[in-house]
Structure 1
Amino acid sequence: MSLNGADRAQASQELMASYNLAGLSRDEIQHDLGFTPHQLERELAVRPTSDPVQMWLLRDYLDRTIRERGRKPAAYTVLTDTARAAAAQGLRLRPAPVATRRG
């Protein structure tokens, strides 16, 4: 999946909206996904250097967390379910883990 600048900006806004809805700290997300602070920042920003597998993992993790907490996820216009299915054909996407609260 190759995103142009406008798509990356839109996808980043959508991921940030999901991040805010999920109610998790960056430390919790990093712990659950095994991301470094740099990796999390890169995927939230949807940079040209973003790893598509990690980007989808973050998207799915946030979406799952929001749903499990009885909330409705923000709408995706770039990282849609259809786009995810297409990405899964060429990438080894991993299932999103369940969010764990620490502390």
Structure 2
Amino acid sequence: MSLTIIERRNTKKELAANFNLAGVTLEQAAQDLATTPEHVEAVLQLQVDQIEEPWILRNYLNKQLAAQGKTPLPYSRLQGDPAEHWFLNTDLIAKGRLN
């Protein structure tokens, strides 16, 4: 998925807002996602090696929020089921790991 500059900016804001709403730390998210805090921060900034990584983080945050009885703030580009996007590796997303 190729994003424009504005779409990238909005997606970073949306991920950050849901990360803050979930109340998790970088360390907790890293442990849960089998990676490092630096990698989680990189994904929050959309500095990724695999285009699936923002989707993995989105799903993680959505699960954290649901467990707290909260509704995720809407995403402008990370919408719907990743399986609807032919270019995404849904097996990788389903693993729920950022490694």
Cα distance, 1:6 vs structure 2: 0.9
Aligned residues: 94
* Residues 11-90 of structure 1 aligned to structure 2 (within 5 Å): 11-47=11-47, 49-81=48-80, 84-87=82-85, 89-90=86-87
Unaligned runs of 5+ in 2: none
Cα distance, 1:90 vs structure 2: 2.4
2:6 partner SS: helix
> TM (normalized to structure 1)?
0.79
Cα distance between partner residues in 1 of 2:16 and 2:45 = 8
> TM (normalized to structure 2)?
0.82
**One-letter code aligned to 1:45:** Q
Cα distance, 1:15 vs structure 2: 0.3
Cα distance between partner residues in 2 of 1:65 and 1:50 = 24
Identity %: 30
Cα distance between partner residues in 1 of 2:79 and 2:95 = 16
Q: Aligned-pair RMSD on alpha carbons? A: 1.8
Is the 1:19–1:62 Cα contact (8 Å) retained in structure 2?
Answer: yes
Is the 1:15–1:59 Cα contact (8 Å) retained in structure 2?
Answer: yes
